[in-house]
């Protein structure tokens, strides 16, 4: 039984901190002599209180309205009606509660009222109600009441009412009553329509507290420092961080009544005590409900290791060596900051548990696997006993590979019928490494043009005359391409180039205005390179 009560307490506490303002709707199943859910008849006399429809008082066939009831402002189908008559000892009415309020907040209640006549077996034609009153309990809210007199100008229509008030407690009682027309001996009725979200919190901070997940089976949250830190961050327990309703912010107090000053630096709390989070309007005029209690416990810590206790982040996982590079600088794998304490250093081991001696010269590390640590020589400690900051120094023969890219040069790209024009393809080495395998590339034949070449070296009429090296290359063709392959022993030097010369001739059958493309592409065996992102060049040509 104690366990059930405890869990119920947690649920109720959660509701208290999380719920928003609420008032019951008047929409309910129709009937004579009944109240809507959440409403209670004054003096425990429900006989003159009814849940009506737009066609009948209390939904009863013998009690039709004499005037069509307009659509309800709330969008509901049914509403409350209160009878009036001069012989009633007191005005009839109902009472209900507005719950989930925050003391000190300003609110606005919106409701609608109407009076119209109805017929009954006793009275073929009744009368209107004379007036309607709404009153808040003055001990629970700032004194607020509204009293409206029905006249010929406002009968048979819904009248929108807005009642502002300031809450003095979490729940406010409101009473609605109707009064007969002076001098009338007939029954009348006043009707009340209250819909969803009828109560609005005018405090922009709202009523819901900042969300905090409490400890299991508790109505509070425990927060302790983690050594070597001697402070805690209150904001770290906020489920949604410091996000707040527009026009408000998260603040902390050391009491649930937001009295005294706010906590000045909630991200660095040094005192063990209880704290509460609130949403506070930017003008500090109002606050939300308090959050769960946060119990802070600042515990003592042993002298710190200035190397820290966090793993080192290594953005570069592999350092490549090879060709004429035999060692790597391990520090090239680290771009972070050393711990602030002077004397703390970055050291490297060939194992993850800093066993044995540190690497003596990390700027000249041979191929292998290495692990980084921060070391505090004063306290003779490391940031961790098992480093995950691993770097591999690996031999990578691709460092010796060249990088080739082609270009096409032609003096004029527009051709008359049957016109001949030279062009050259230059293969450039751009990495600083000579080729060590045959170089092969292909030229796509453009439709409507013929491509020819010489097998010996000549001067191509391009860029003022360029000597080509055609005799160093084997050139063959098929119907779609010309294939060019370097002969055995022919290489392209580091940052050098090779020039191949060709001639384009426009066929007489190609119509004027047509455009074509000449494409040169290095093929897969191109000199031993592996970078294929720059292996194609395209030049447009056209027919005059």
Domain spans in the chain, listed from the N-terminal domain onward = 20-201, 220-297, 318-398, 404-543
Task: Note the pLDDT tens digit of each residue in 418-447.
Answer: 999 999 999 999 999 899 889 999 999 999
pLDDT score recorded for residue 6: 35
Burial environment of residue 396 by CB neighbours within 10 A (0 to 12, 13 to 18, 19 or more): middle
pLDDT given at position 497: 97
Kindly tell me the sign of the dihedral angle through the C-alpha atoms of 57, 61, 67, 71.
positive
Cis omega (within 30 of 0) for bond into 413 = no
Confidence of residue 525 (pLDDT cuts 50, 70, 90): low
CATH number corresponding to 20-201? 2.60.120.260
Give the residue among 116, 115, 108 at the shortest CA–CA distance from 133: 115
pLDDT at 541 over 90: yes
Check if the beta carbon of residue 394 is closer than 8 Å to that of residue 320. yes
**DSSP summary character for residue 235:** G
Looking at residue 227, what is its pLDDT? 85
Q: Is the pLDDT of residue 510 over 60?
A: yes
The rounded distance, in Å, linking the Cα atoms of 161 and 375 is 73
pLDDT digits (tens, 9 = 90+) for 11-29: 333 333 445 789 999 999 9
- State the fold for domain 404-543: Immunoglobulin-like (2.60.40)
Weakest mean pLDDT among 250-264, 282-296, 341-355: 282-296
Helix (H) or strand (E) segment spanning residue 446: none
What would the pLDDT profile of 198-246 be if each residue is shown by its tens digit? 999 888 888 889 999 999 999 999 999 998 789 999 999 999 999 999 9
- Look at the block and give the residue holding tokens 């592999």: 318
- Which pLDDT tens digit goes with each residue over 478-491? 999 999 999 999 99
**Separation of alpha carbons 113 and 364, rounded Å:** 89
């Amino acid at each position: 039984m104690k366990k059930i009560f405890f869990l119920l307490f947690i649920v109720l506490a959660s509701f208290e901190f999380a719920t928003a303002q609420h008032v019951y709707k008047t929409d309910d199943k129709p009937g004579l002599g009944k109240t809507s859910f959440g409403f209670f008849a004054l003096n425990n006399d429900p006989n003159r209180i009814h849940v009506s429809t737009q066609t009948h008082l209390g939904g009863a066939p013998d009690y039709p309205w004499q005037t069509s009831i307009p659509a309800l402002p709330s969008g509901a189908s049914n509403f409350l009606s209160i009878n009036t008559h001069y012989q009633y000892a007191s005005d009839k009415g109902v009472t209900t509660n507005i719950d989930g309020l925050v003391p000190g907040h300003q609110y606005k209640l919106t409701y609608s009222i109407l009076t119209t006549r109805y017929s009954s077996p006793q009275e073929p034609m009744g009368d209107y109600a004379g007036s309607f009153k709404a009153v808040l309990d003055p001990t629970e809210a700032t004194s607020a009441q509204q009293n409206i007199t029905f006249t010929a100008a406002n009968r048979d229509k819904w009248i929108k009412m807005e009642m502002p008030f300031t809450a003095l407690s979490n729940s406010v009682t409101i009473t609605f009553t109707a009064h007969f027309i002076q001098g009338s001996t007939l029954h009348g009725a006043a009707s009340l329509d209250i819909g969803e979200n009828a109560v609005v919190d005018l405090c922009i901070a709202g009523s819901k507290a900042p969300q905090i997940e409490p400890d299991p089976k508790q109505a509070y949250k425990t927060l302790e420092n983690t050594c070597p830190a001697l402070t805690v961050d209150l904001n770290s327990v906020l489920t949604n961080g410091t996000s707040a309703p527009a026009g408000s912010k998260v603040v902390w107090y050391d009491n649930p009544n937001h009295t005294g000053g706010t906590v000045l630096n909630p991200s660095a709390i040094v005192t063990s005590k209880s704290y509460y989070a609130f949403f506070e309007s930017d003008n500090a005029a109002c606050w939300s409900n308090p959050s769960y209690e946060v119990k802070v416990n600042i515990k003592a810590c042993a002298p710190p290791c200035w190397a820290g206790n966090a793993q080192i982040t290594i953005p570069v996982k592999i350092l490549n060596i090879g060709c004429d590079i035999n060692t790597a600088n391990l520090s090239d794998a680290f771009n972070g900051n050393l711990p602030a304490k002077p004397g703390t250093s970055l050291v490297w081991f060939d194992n993850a548990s800093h066993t044995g001696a540190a690497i003596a010269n990390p700027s000249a590390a041979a191929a292998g696997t290495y692990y980084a640590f921060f070391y505090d020589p004063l306290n003779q400690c490391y940031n961790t006993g098992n480093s995950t900051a691993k770097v591999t120094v690996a031999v990578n023969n691709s460092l010796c590979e060249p990088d080739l890219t082609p270009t096409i040069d032609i003096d004029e790209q527009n051709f008359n019928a049957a016109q001949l024009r030279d062009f050259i393809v230059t293969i450039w080495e751009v990495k600083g490494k000579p080729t060590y395998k045959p170089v092969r590339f292909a030229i796509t034949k453009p439709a409507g043009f013929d491509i020819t070449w010489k097998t010996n070296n000549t001067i191509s009429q391009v860029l003022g005359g360029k000597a080509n090296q055609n005799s160093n290359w084997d050139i063959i063709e098929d119907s779609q391409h010309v294939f060019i392959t370097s002969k055995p022993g022919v290489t392209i030097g580091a940052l050098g180039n090779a020039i191949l010369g060709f001639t384009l001739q426009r066929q007489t059958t190609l119509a004027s205005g047509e455009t074509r493309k000449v494409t040169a592409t290095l093929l897969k065996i191109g000199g031993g390179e592996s970078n294929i992102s720059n292996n194609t060049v395209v030049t447009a040509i056209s027919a005059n």
